[in-house]
Chain A
Amino acid sequence: MTKNILLCGVGGQGVLLAAKLMAFAAFHAGFRVFTNEIHGMAQRGGSVTASVRFGDGEVLAPLFAAGEADLLFAVEHAEALRNARSLKPGGAAVIARQSVIPTTVTTGAAVYPADMEDRIRRVFTRVVYAPCGEEAARLGNPKLANTILLGAAAAFLPEIPRAAWDRAMEALIRPDLIDLNRNAFEKGLAL
């Protein structure tokens, strides 16, 4: 068994922490795990992708080919479309209903599509598409958006038991924020 997950978003949105949380959870579930992240220029507001692979002995390397992802985790919806090719037929996607407007748009060189929801619905069939930012604000901290999405992702990763997710959060998140994140994770699971 091998699971391939592609995570994407914009630099500064927390994609790398989400990838780390997934990696820890998969590790605590007893799997062999690889992750990869794009560094360098991408930090400066560029598109960011990370990959997580876990499974038994067959997993040898951190990257996989287009059309091989079991799950797409997108914290920005234009980036979800940009990386839609990574998904295998029948693969699932969890996508935050969130627009981060690039400077190419503010300077008038490009247009940010207005029909994002229609596009997402057309391209992704097994999808959780949720306004995670608004949900997070309701929980008291907009930064919980990714944890909500992570909960949604967990629903598509039944190989990882809930206890492993908890251990991952305990390892990587500040103790005083654990309860808030647990709540956010629950919220995402229920989406």
Chain B
Amino acid sequence: MRLLSGNEAVALGALRAGVAAAFGYPGTPSTEVLETLAKIGGDSLCCEWSPNEKVALEAAAGASMAGARTLTTMKLVGLNVAADPLMTLSYLGVQGGMVVLVADDPGQHSSQTEQDTRHYARLAKVPILEPADAEEACAVMFRAFEISEKYRCPVIVRTTTCVSHSRCFVEEPEQMERKSVHFEKDVTRWIPIPLWGRKKRIHVEERMKLQADEASSDETWNKILPGNDCSFGIVSSGVTALYCRERFPDHPMLKLAWSFPFPDELLRRFADSADRIIVIEEGDPILEEHIKSLGIPCSGKDLVPRCGELTPDRIEEVKNRILGKDPVPPADIPEASDLPGRPPVLCAGCPHRALFYQLSRFRDIIVCGDIGCYSLGVFPPLNCTDTMLCMGGGFTVAHGIAKSGESRKTVGIVGDSTFFHSGITGLLDVVYNQGNSLLIVADNRSTAMTGHQDHPGTGVTLQGKTTSAASIETIAKACGMERVYVCDPFDADKMQSILKDELSRMDSPALLISRAPCPLHQKKRGIVRSVDPGLCKGCGACLKCGCPAIGTTDGRHPVIDPAACGGCTLCESICRFSAIRPVG
């Protein structure tokens, strides 16, 4: 038995089920699936970070068409990017089993939205399986590949943050043999021109009926758990079902893992076994609305919160509501009422801080940020981001604001991994349509936020092979960007002079690549800095860069924690009195 997280268990299950090719883009809480697979899969497995989720899903589709079992991994919003190929692939179908692992994030621990991927299963008309813990996450992969191959369609396996990041001890399954691979040419199968696409449309509906029947009789994954108290029965799925089972052990429960296509026959059967049906589902009322559409009365979101993670705390609230008990107010602890907040911050030595600090010295600019560590530039004391929309949106939103008639200079910032994900098209747009934004790539040579994954610009693959490193500056020039600067953000003078020039120009766009590697990733520290109390005037300027290594006891005089200092030189460059110096 091994102590595995849900993500690690998905990787182990996929490997043992004979997956031959896996593709994905990093995104919390899904990232460790592919990282684990690359680690345990060996050289015969193809395991790739794709530039984005759409590319990943398309590559997986190709490998599946050729007969290989494939896995694609992404976080919830990644499926928005990959939705286009998924919709059509549902019509085309696959040959080798294809699992699309999507990790949802109820409670938005690290996501901009809380979308419920079950909607996508309905929209794409493909099966969805929802494991409740790591043990199920490993086993469900075998079933998912089986369903995918039986019905020749992609299957979504949906985890949630709690499932992805919780651990339990998992039994290692036997290794299955890989499928033989040969791409069988058949234009009527692989090409959805309307002539053939209309037939596929009908086939998809027929396929869903068969799947609904099979889901109704799949007692391993959709099970009725007995209970003596039939005053109400609970329908639930995923980890929520486990919380409910712990808190309502006496009530019958329908625990669904293969939740779509809806197992109608099973839902009807279960409804007959209890006086009242209560659907306790995290996210949107998808099961509830469907059950009601079958003519079965049930409770659901009238008792269960719609937004946020359904934690045990909130299941307790639901329980009180069901039993008609008064809510229990949380214990009042005055000693904990005035604790200082501890928001996430850019690490000590982070090059993004240097970039934002330099940028924060300019007024009357509009800064459009993006998704990554550098999202933290929005917080005080940097206060240096005005918008954030989606991956790649940094460039394009800046361009749109500039084109709206707004008179202030716009700045669009994306990270290096984000640039390759979906920043290039935005840059192309700004050049092609003669925008005037200053575009900045906050290039720390890594997909840092999700734990330092490689990307097309690093020159290393997920499986550790050396490969060609795409050059951001060359790409920009090829797109027609005329002024391209590369600057180390810790070179304060050069950075200031570039920013000063470019932020005052309104005639044409430019690209600034702010390049310094993530010190956490490099595991290298510069020479630690310290404050000379004799020279320090207590002006507090260095405290304004928000470095976690700089503390103060009186709000004015800094103290640098030598254990935390990254030796990045930013505070030294800020100090006008030369009071901050390298130690030794």
Contact = CB atoms under 8 A, between A and B. Distances in A.
B526 interface: no
B3 A63 contact: no
Interface string B331-353: 10101101111111111000000
A37 B246 contact: no
A103 B429 CA distance: 39
A44 to B, nearest CB: 4
B133 interface: yes
Given A45-B345, A85-B333, A113-B338, A61 B109 contact: no
B226 interface: no
Contacts of B133: 34, 61-62
A107 B380 contact: yes
A156 B285 CA distance: 42
A177 interface: no
Interface stretch (A76-84, A146-154, A158-166, A182-190): A76-84
Interface string A2-31: 000000001100000000100110010000
A105 B543 CA distance: 10
A173 interface: no
A67 B311 CA distance: 13
A45 B342 contact: yes
B464 interface: no
A110 interface: yes
B246 A78 contact: no
Nearest to A23: B3
Given A45-B342, A60-B242, A39 B109 contact: yes
A35 B166 contact: yes
A101 interface: yes
| Of listed A11, A35, A44, A61, residue having the most chain B CB within 10 A | A61
B3 A40 contact: no
Contacts of A119: 335
Interface string B133-168: 100000000000000000000000000011001111
A41 B109 contact: yes
A136 interface: no
B376 interface: yes
Interface in A22-79: 23-24, 27, 32-47, 58-68, 78-79
A104 B342 contact: yes
Contacts of A10: 342
Given A34-B167, A123-B333, A64 B312 contact: yes
A84 B161 CA distance: 24
Contacts of A79: 342
A111 interface: yes
Contacts of B161: 39
| Of listed B339, B543, B550, residue having the most chain A CB within 10 A | B339
B110 A61 contact: no
B345 A44 contact: yes
Contacts of A106: 543, 546, 548, 550-552
Nearest to A116: B335
| Of listed A79, A84, A103, A104, residue having the most chain B CB within 10 A | A103
Nearest to A24: B3
Nearest to B319: A65
A131 interface: no
B333 A33 contact: no
A35 B134 CA distance: 11
A35 B167 contact: yes
Interface string B395-411: 00000000000000000
Contacts of B346: 44
B140 to A, nearest CB: 17
A165 to B, nearest CB: 15
B165 A37 contact: yes
B338 to A, nearest CB: 7
A36 B339 CA distance: 24
Contacts of A59: 246
B311 A63 contact: yes
A108 interface: yes
Given A40-B109, A60-B246, A103-B345, A33 B381 contact: no
Interface string A92-115: 000000000111111111111100
Contacts of A138: none
B530 to A, nearest CB: 16
A76 B373 CA distance: 25
Nearest to B340: A110
B29 A40 contact: yes
Given A45-B344, A104-B342, A119-B335, A39 B168 contact: no
A78 to B, nearest CB: 5
B312 A65 contact: yes
| Of listed B29, B166, B543, residue having the most chain A CB within 10 A | B166
A102 B330 contact: no
A79 B338 CA distance: 12
B12 interface: no
B167 A23 contact: yes
Contacts of A174: none
B3 A46 contact: no
B169 interface: yes
A31 B345 CA distance: 38
B380 A113 contact: no
Contacts of A11: 344
Given A39-B165, A107-B381, A110-B340, A65 B316 contact: yes
Interface in B44-99: none
B344 A43 contact: yes
B243 A41 contact: no
A38 B167 CA distance: 12
B277 to A, nearest CB: 21
B245 interface: yes
A106 B376 CA distance: 17
A61 B243 contact: yes
25 contacts: A10-B342, A20-B167, A38-B109, A39-B29, A44-B373, A45-B342, A45-B347, A45-B548, A60-B246, A61-B246, A63-B243, A63-B312, A64-B312, A65-B312, A66-B331, A84-B333, A102-B341, A102-B548, A103-B547, A104-B340, A104-B341, A106-B551, A107-B544, A123-B333, A123-B335
Q: Top 6 A-B pairs ranked by shortest CB distance?
A: A40-B110, A110-B340, A44-B344, A62-B166, A61-B242, A65-B312
Interface of A: 10-11, 20, 23-24, 27, 32-47, 58-68, 78-79, 81-82, 84-85, 101-113, 119, 122-123
Given A27-B3, A36-B165, 6 more contacts: A23-B3, A34-B166, A40-B110, A62-B167, A78-B339, A123-B335
